[in-house]
Amino acid sequence: MSTPFYGWTIVGVGMVVTCVGFGAMVSLTVFLAPIAEAMGWSRTGISTAALINWLCMGLGGFVWGALSDRFGTRAVVLAGGVLLGLGLVTASQTTSLVQFQLVFGVVVGLAAGSFYTPLTATTTRWFTRHRSLAVALVSAGLSVGSAIMGPVARWLITTHDWRFAMLIIGDVVWLVIIPAAFLVRDPASATTVVPGAAARPAGLTVAQAVRTPQFAAIALTYLACCAAHSGPIFHMVTHAIDHGVPAMAAATVLSAASLASLGGKLICGVLADRVGAKRVLVIGLAIQAVAVSLYLMVRDLTGFYALALLFGFAYGGIMPLYAILVREYFGQRIMGAVFGAVAFVSTLGMALGPWAGGRLYDVFGSYVWLFIGSAGIGLGAVAIALTFKAPRPLGAALPSPSVS
């Protein structure tokens, strides 16, 4: 009787860890209005915590990714789980805006960076066939986390208060991620040189990789992509509330977008395995730009649900594709560090969107200019994506510990 392929266990662990870890971090979008009301802090001030959060997550992703290449992913995920729970529990007890920005922004952000990048890099090392699907499944944890944590946080806030809700979420992080980390392991063949790979010379270092045109093209596309959708995602709940949607229903709009993004990840992952990641990426970016522009016309709950499904499918479907492109260009040996560097660049866009949305709202009293600017940036992402050539697939040439 053959031993079950452990790569699928890695995928399962990746889904659970990213679900809880990322869901805990992005639940700030549900906390935005309750914290502002309870503490008297501005939306700009609270959104600044999200800006710091994303910047630190990006920096953490690069550092944790490099550490996972050197010391293994298990140690990285374990340390990140401990730190994330500590950050959330501490943030729930802060009494000033500056304290909240530092704890939630810096500690939670750095900790959250320890999950997606290292686990994605590890997943690509386990698979040759079905690699895009496996990465998409790990990325699906991000969508499930948003879908679950939003309503849970809203319910806890409604029945108690925002401090209690954040404290409980921090405890859940400890209870789930720390045990799950012990199931993570790297494949036996962790370093493989691919002879004749056109996209990357043998022995390419991280420093050399980040200076290549391929890296710049992927990173800039990722940056513009995230800048286009981060603001609308973060302010989605509050925008719906501003148009008369009840708070709990508004939280479920975010859940609808998150569930749609889960479907987008799975479908686009399968399509990328068949027709190539670059082609799927360009189409997804175009749909995302159109969806953001439609927020200028939506006013009722039905419209918010319908748009959430389209928008969620688009932004969810394209997110796993960047890891696939990095893997195809640069291979598995330096995958953690290079994808961490790409993700760090992208988080500049993730950090800008929430802060810009809060600032524009405080100045103009609406999110109109947020959606106009985000749609324009989204079209820019399409243009950048069209400038780089699809890398030569390396899967067929790569020896792998998997036949899956």
The letter for the amino acid at 386 is L
Q: Does residue 3 fall inside a structural domain?
A: no
Distances (CA, A) of 98 to 28, 91, 209, 347: 16, 11, 38, 21
Asked if residues 81 and 181 have their Cβ atoms less than 8 Å apart, the reply is yes
CATH number at residue 279: 1.20.1250.20
The letter for the amino acid at 286 is A
Asked if residues 194 and 398 have their Cβ atoms less than 8 Å apart, the reply is yes
Sign of the Cα torsion 367, 368, 374, 377 reads negative
pLDDT for 333: 67
pLDDT at 193 over 50: no
Asked if residues 170 and 88 have their Cβ atoms less than 8 Å apart, the reply is yes
Helices marked H in 276-334 — which ranges?
Answer: 277-294, 301-318, 321-330
Q: Does residue 120 fall inside a structural domain?
A: yes
Q: Does residue 191 fall inside a structural domain?
A: no
Q: Does residue 105 fall inside a structural domain?
A: yes
Cβ-based burial of 148 (10 A; exposed 0-12, middle 13-18, buried ≥19) = middle
| pLDDT single digits (tens) 63-115 | 887 787 777 888 889 999 999 999 999 988 888 888 888 888 889 888 988 88
Structural domain containing residue 275: 10-186+205-393
Lowest-confidence pick of 195-204, 250-259, 331-340: 195-204
Cβ-based burial of 87 (10 A; exposed 0-12, middle 13-18, buried ≥19) = buried
Q: Does residue 17 fall inside a structural domain?
A: yes
pLDDT for 309: 92
Two structure tokens written together for 142: 């991000």
pTM above 0.85, yes or no: no
pLDDT at 234 over 70: yes
pLDDT for 197: 39
| Confidence band, pLDDT 50/70/90 cuts, at residue 263 | confident
Q: Does residue 200 fall inside a structural domain?
A: no
Cα separation of 280 and 269, whole Å? 9
pLDDT for 391: 54
Cα separation of 300 and 293, whole Å? 16
Structural domains of the chain, count: 1
Lowest-confidence pick of 40-44, 61-65, 189-193, 309-313: 189-193
pLDDT at 287 over 90: yes
pLDDT for 266: 81
Sign of the Cα torsion 289, 105, 185, 173 reads negative
DSSP state, 219?
H
Q: Does residue 400 fall inside a structural domain?
A: no
pLDDT for 192: 41
Asked if residues 267 and 321 have their Cβ atoms less than 8 Å apart, the reply is no
pLDDT at 168 over 60: yes
Distances (CA, A) of 184 to 81, 143, 331, 334, 375: 13, 21, 21, 19, 39
Q: Cα-atom radius of gyration of the chain, to the nearest Å?
A: 20
User: 327-353: b or e for each residue (b if 16 or more CB lie within 10 Å)?
Assistant: bbbbbbbbbbbbbbbbbbbbbbbbbbb
Q: Does residue 1 fall inside a structural domain?
A: no
Two structure tokens written together for 74: 């298990």
| pLDDT single digits (tens) 104-149 | 888 988 898 888 778 887 887 777 777 777 877 887 777 777 777 7
**Helix 247-275 and helix 301-318, axial crossing angle in degrees, nearest 10:** 30
pLDDT for 245: 85
Report the candidate in 352, 382, 69 with the shortest Cα–Cα distance to residue 225: 382
pLDDT for 189: 57
Cα separation of 293 and 379, whole Å? 11
